[in-house]
A = this chain, B = another copy of it.
Amino acid sequence: MEDQDDPALPGFDLDRFTPYRLSVAAERASEGLARLYRARFGISVAEWRVLAHLEHSGNVSVRDIEARVALEKSKVSRAASRLETAGLIAKAVDPADRRLLQLSLTPEGRALMAEMLPVALGFQAEIEARLGDALAGFERGLQRLLDDMEDKDDPSA
């Protein structure tokens, strides 16, 4: 009986609040992944995203990555700098538009990705195993959220 005398409040339960649940799940997942990457490869989540995008998409600019990978451009920039220092990616000025950078994996970066990918896929498999038969429904919902939110980001309204 820890209720005080408030007849009005409907007894809100954070545990049933989807944004909160989503946030906790995401945090935990990212944290787990981050732990793996940091311990085994010395790579942060931002760096991982940049690498993964480069592996997938060849030469890209910082702006491209920012858009495609949900990372602040300053975060991308700094991640890229660290990766370059580590010899994992190369920066080149785009000859067609010299404001743009062309980021690309070095052979070392490519080799590291070859090591990291199995870890990533293993992590993914683990999540899928946990989800079990809820996987399809979950991914479907997630997709809806991602689709709908695509541009809700920029509330010019």
Interface residues of A (CB under 8 A from B): 2-4, 6, 8-14, 17-33, 35, 49, 52-53, 55-59, 69-70, 110, 113-114, 117, 120-121, 123-124, 127-128, 130-132, 134-146, 148-149, 152-153, 155
Looking at the assembled complex, report how far the CB atom of A33 sits from the nearest CB atom of chain B, in whole angstroms.
Answer: 5
A92 → chain B closest CB, angstroms: 14
In the complex, are the beta carbons of B59 and A2 less than 8 A apart? Answer: yes
Q: How many copies does the complex hold?
A: 2
Contacts of A18 in B (CB 8 A): 29, 124, 127-128, 139, 142
9 closest A-B pairs by CB: A137-B137, A138-B141, A2-B58, A26-B26, A134-B141, A22-B26, A19-B29, A28-B149, A24-B70
Residues in B neighbouring A12, C-beta threshold 8 A: 52, 55-56, 113, 117, 120-121
What is the bound-complex CA distance between A114 and B10, given in angstroms?
Answer: 9
